[in-house]
Amino acid sequence: MSKRNRLRRDILEDLEAQGKTADLVLLAWSIVEMHLDNAVHRVYGVSGQDPKSDKLHRLRVAEKLKVLNRMRLLPDKEYAVLQRFKTERDTIFHRGGLFLPNYSEEQKRELADLAIAAADVGHDLIDKMLRLPTPIGK
Q: How many domains is the chain partitioned into structurally? A: 1
Mean local confidence (pLDDT), 124-130 = 93
10-31 tens-digit pLDDT: 899 999 999 999 899 999 999 9
Please tell me the predicted confidence (pLDDT) of residue 101. Answer: 67
Q: How far apart are CA 88 and CA 133, in angstroms?
A: 33
- Quick check: is 85 in a domain? yes
Domain that holds residue 18: 12-130
Residue 89: CB atoms within 10 Å: 20
Percent of the chain at pLDDT > 70 equals: 90
Helix 21-44 vs helix 76-93: crossing angle, to nearest 10:
130
72-91 tens-digit pLDDT: 999 999 999 999 999 999 88
pTM as predicted: 0.87
- Quick check: is 136 in a domain? no
28-53 tens-digit pLDDT: 999 999 999 999 988 888 887 888 88
**Backbone dihedral region for residue 89 (phi beyond 0: left; psi -120 to 50: alpha; all else: beta):** alpha
- Quick check: is 3 in a domain? no
Please tell me the predicted confidence (pLDDT) of residue 136. Answer: 72
- Quick check: is 138 in a domain? no
Percent of the chain at pLDDT > 90 equals: 59
Q: Show Cβ contacts of residue 82 under 8 Å, excluding neighbours closer than 6 positions.
A: 32, 65, 74, 118, 121, 122
- Quick check: is 5 in a domain? no
Give the DSSP letter of residue 53: G
